[in-house]
Amino acid sequence: MVQTIQGTLDGNGRKFAIAIARFNSLVTDRLRDGAIDALTRHGVAADDIRVVWVPGAFELPVVCRWLADTDADAVIALGAVIRGSTTHYDHVCNQAARGILDASVQSGKPVSFGVLTCETLEQALERAGSKAGNKGADAALAALEMLAVKSAL
């Protein structure tokens, strides 16, 4: 018989850390609100959520790694990278994505990727609580699901 494992979304008793970039905080504030709302609606106590600000998305990987070494069960990385007129955007996006993945794989804890990579501020705002949902909430749900998968294995 096939054994199928799927994570449920029960945050009771779980501890979360949110690493959040201050750059484009108009957007990242909304991603944080979405993440906290998703966590608390799935049973996570507000006292079990820690929010840690860093300057920009480039700084997210190391703080995610530091947070993975704390008592947090999972980490949620939130940022908003918006393309400018140079290649700076590509470096920030690529390194943030790779570094956040590394923090997860190296620590063995879920570190979810709630970093928007957009062409315009309008696109970012659409994904931060308006017509394209809230990617902070999506990242929170991914972290919850991964915790359940980890527990089930």
Site string for ligand INI, 28-67 (x = CB under 6 A): ---------------------------xxxxx--------
- Nearest residue (CB) to ligand INI, 103 versus 144: 103
For the chain, what is the largest distance between any 2 Cα atoms, rounded to a whole number of angstroms?
A: 55
Q: Return the SS3 of 121.
A: helix
- Report, in angstroms and rounded to the nearest whole number, the Rg of the chain calculated over CA atoms: 15
88 annotated active-site = yes
> Segment 102-141, which members bind ligand INI (CB under 6 A)?
none
Query: d(Cα 113, Cα 97) in Å, to the nearest integer?
Result: 7
User: Least Å distance between CB 134 and ligand INI?
Assistant: 17
Nearest to 31 by CA among 141, 114, 144: 114
Q: Stretches 32-40, 43-51, 74-82, 128-136: which one binds ligand INI (CB under 6 A)?
A: 74-82
